[in-house]
């Protein structure tokens, strides 16, 4: 079995190519500052909870998250990461018609396929650098669509939705009785995130579900903490088809603590914005890579030199202990031509750039 997303250093270890501590993973889009300090002691404090099943309503987790999000606790639905919630929502509308803004996170299409739904891809345009303005106007012409998945900021493009357009789309979908799922897994990396998050709209729109992940910004992908924000009616409907204990007790306890880490979040946003600016400028200066503008903690790059393929470049980097995300499996991106690079710390980004200079023709 191979991994289908980034963040799979295990694959590299299987080939004996690297000392694990030497692997630099640019394929998973995690906070390069690592988890907030003090996580280990929080783990120890939470340890006692493993003797019991998690409290079935996750009251404390939902209350802490609801406070931070400015909504009622009845609007919060915990999940084993947002990936779990994507599959739950898809199952809720199984054998339906599902629209997806592409290129985007591949799990929406995978979930819809698994649930035997018909998928409609709405394509972001490369000539507009994948900027989503105007996109989705065709939603009304598709006929009845039960679900629309979009990602803001979008993975793998890093682009943010203009809020006016997103709001119009949610309104159109309300009339069409289409549920809009806005996946904000990377919203905490956006400098002006309060202006861009759709969470406050949940009070007004019954057809809106916003997904939030703690994985990326707190760099804890191994723990699996995510939640949906939706109107109470939708949260109840989803809870009814969710298996019991969707989040383990340690994850719930750590999530309660992490949501209050406002100082860490501020610092992360500030620092990563600086790292991203520098990395993007450096990539722009490399012959052969054309980076797309990004508001997130990753950068999509087109490989302009036809003699270099994404897979070939990734293999060359892997031999140097560096992982990047080959984007061949993203619907709407030309296979072989795109890679996604996570923004890491400046010294790590420099190591990537040095390797790219060695591997890319005419870049040395
Ligand atoms: C857009 C997007 N949504 C959701 C996920 C899944 O995140 P989680 O770890 O919360 O399941 C990912 C992970 O790569 C992602 O890129």
Residue 187 alpha carbon to ligand 1 centre in Å = 12
Indicate the top mutation candidate among 104, 151, 185, 254 to test ligand 1's pocket, ranked by most ligand atoms within 8 A of CB.
185
User: What HEC string does the chain produce?
Assistant: CCCCCCCCHHHHHHCCCCCHHHCEECCCCCCCCCCCCCHHHHHHHHHHHHHCCCCCCCHHHHHHHHHHHCCCHHHEEEECCHHHHHHHHHHHCCCCEEEEEECCCCHHHHHHHHCCCEEEEEECCHHHCCCCCCCCHHHHHHCCCCEEEEECCCCCCCCCCCHHHHHHHHHHHHHHCCEEEEECCCHHHCCCHHHHCCHHHHHCCCCEEEEEECCCCCCCCCCCCEEEEECHHHHHHHHHHCCCCCCCHHHHHHHHHHCCCHHHHHHHHHHHHHHHHHHHHHHHCCCCEEECCCCCCEEEEEECCCCCCHHHHHHHHHCCCEECEECCCCCCCCCCCEEEEECCCHHHHHHHHHHHHHHCCCCC
Question: Of all atoms in ligand 1, which is nearest to the CA of residue 186?
Answer: 1
Computed over every residue of the chain, the mean pLDDT equals 93
Residue 185 alpha carbon to ligand 1 centre in Å = 6
Indicate the top mutation candidate among 6, 29, 81 to test ligand 1's pocket, ranked by most ligand atoms within 8 A of CB.
81
At residue 5, the pLDDT reads 72
Question: Of all atoms in ligand 1, which is nearest to the CA of residue 105?
Answer: 1
Q: Is 96 in the pocket of ligand 1 (CB under 6 A)?
A: no
Residue 186 alpha carbon to ligand 1 centre in Å = 8
CA–CA distance, 234 with 254 (Å, rounded to integer):
26
Predicted confidence band at 1 (pLDDT cuts at 50, 70, 90)? very low
Question: Of all atoms in ligand 1, which is nearest to the CA of residue 221?
Answer: 9
In this predicted structure, the answer to whether residue 359 has a pLDDT above a threshold of 70 is yes
Q: Is 105 in the pocket of ligand 1 (CB under 6 A)?
A: yes
Nearest residue to 210 (alpha-carbon basis) of 225, 224, 198, 196 = 198
Q: Is 183 in the pocket of ligand 1 (CB under 6 A)?
A: yes
Residue 28 alpha carbon to ligand 1 centre in Å = 10
Q: What is the pLDDT of residues 136-192, one digit of tens each?
A: 778 888 889 999 999 999 999 999 999 999 999 999 999 999 999 999 999 999 999
Residue 352 alpha carbon to ligand 1 centre in Å = 24
CA–CA distance, 152 with 163 (Å, rounded to integer):
10
- Say if residue 198 is exposed, middle or buried (CB neighbours under 10 Å; 0-12, 13-18, 19+): buried
Q: What is the pLDDT of residues 41-89, one digit of tens each?
A: 999 999 999 999 999 999 999 999 999 999 999 999 999 999 999 999 9
Of all protein residues, the one whose alpha carbon is nearest to atom 2 of ligand 1 is 185
User: Where is pLDDT greater, at 117 or 3?
Assistant: 117
* 282-306 mean pLDDT: 95
CA–CA distance, 319 with 112 (Å, rounded to integer):
36
Sheet of strand 147-151, all strands in order from the earlier edge strand to the far edge: 76-79, 226-230, 208-213, 179-183, 147-151, 97-102, 118-123
Domains of the chain with bracketed CATH: 9-30+263-359 (3.90.1150.10), 39-260 (3.40.640.10)
Token pair of 203 as six digits:
């009070």
Q: What is the pLDDT of residues 237-286, one digit of tens each?
A: 999 999 999 999 999 999 999 999 999 999 999 999 999 999 999 999 99
Angle at 344 between CA 46 and CA 328, to 5 degrees: 100
Residue 31 alpha carbon to ligand 1 centre in Å = 13
Q: Is 185 in the pocket of ligand 1 (CB under 6 A)?
A: yes
Q: Is 221 in the pocket of ligand 1 (CB under 6 A)?
A: yes
Q: Is 81 in the pocket of ligand 1 (CB under 6 A)?
A: yes
Indicate the top mutation candidate among 77, 84, 101, 155 to test ligand 1's pocket, ranked by most ligand atoms within 8 A of CB.
155
pLDDT above 70: percentage of residues in the chain: 95
Question: Of all atoms in ligand 1, which is nearest to the CA of residue 7?
Answer: 14
Question: Of all atoms in ligand 1, which is nearest to the CA of residue 86?
Answer: 4
């Amino acid at each position: 079995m191979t991994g289908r997303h980034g963040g799979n250093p295990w694959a590299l270890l299987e080939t004996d190519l690297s000392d694990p501590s030497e692997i630099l993973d640019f394929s998973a889009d995690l906070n390069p500052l690592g988890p907030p300090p003090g996580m280990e002691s929080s783990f120890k404090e939470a340890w006692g909870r493993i003797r019991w099943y998690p409290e079935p309503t996750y009251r404390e987790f939902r209350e802490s998250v609801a406070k931070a999000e400015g909504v009622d606790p009845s609007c919060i639905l915990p999940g084993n990461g947002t990936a779990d919630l994507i599959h739950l929502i898809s199952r809720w509308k199984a054998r339906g018609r599902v629209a997806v803004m592409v290129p985007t996170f591949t799990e929406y299409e995978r979930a819809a396929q698994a649930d035997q739904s018909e998928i409609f891809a709405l394509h972001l345009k490369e000539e507009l650098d994948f900027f989503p303005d105007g996109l989705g106007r065709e939603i009304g012409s598709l006929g009845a669509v039960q679900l629309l998945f979009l990602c803001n900021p979008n993975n793998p493009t890093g682009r943010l939705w203009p809020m006016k357009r997103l709001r119009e789309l949610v309104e159109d979908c309300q009339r069409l009785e289409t549920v809009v799922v806005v996946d904000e897994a990377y919203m905490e990396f956006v400098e002006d995130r309060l202006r861009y998050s759709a969470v406050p709209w949940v009070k007004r729109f019954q057809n809106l579900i916003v997904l939030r992940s703690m994985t990326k910004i707190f760099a804890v992908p191994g723990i699996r903490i995510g939640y949906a924000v939706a109107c109470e009616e939708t949260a109840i409907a989803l809870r009814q088809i969710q298996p019991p204990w969707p989040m383990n007790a340690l994850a719930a306890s750590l999530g309660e603590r992490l949501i209050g880490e406002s100082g860490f979040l501020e610092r992360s946003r500030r620092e990563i914005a600086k790292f991203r600016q520098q990395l993007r400028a450096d990539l722009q200066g490399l012959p052969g890579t054309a980076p797309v503008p990004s508001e997130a903690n990753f950068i999509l790059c087109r490989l302009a030199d036809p003699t270099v393929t994404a897979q070939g470049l990734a293999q060359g980097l892997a031999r140097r202990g560096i992982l990047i995300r080959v984007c061949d499996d993203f619907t709407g991106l030309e296979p072989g031509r795109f890679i996604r690079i996570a923004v890491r710390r400046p010294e790590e980004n420099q190591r990537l750039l040095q390797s790219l200079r060695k591997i890319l023709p005419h870049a040395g």
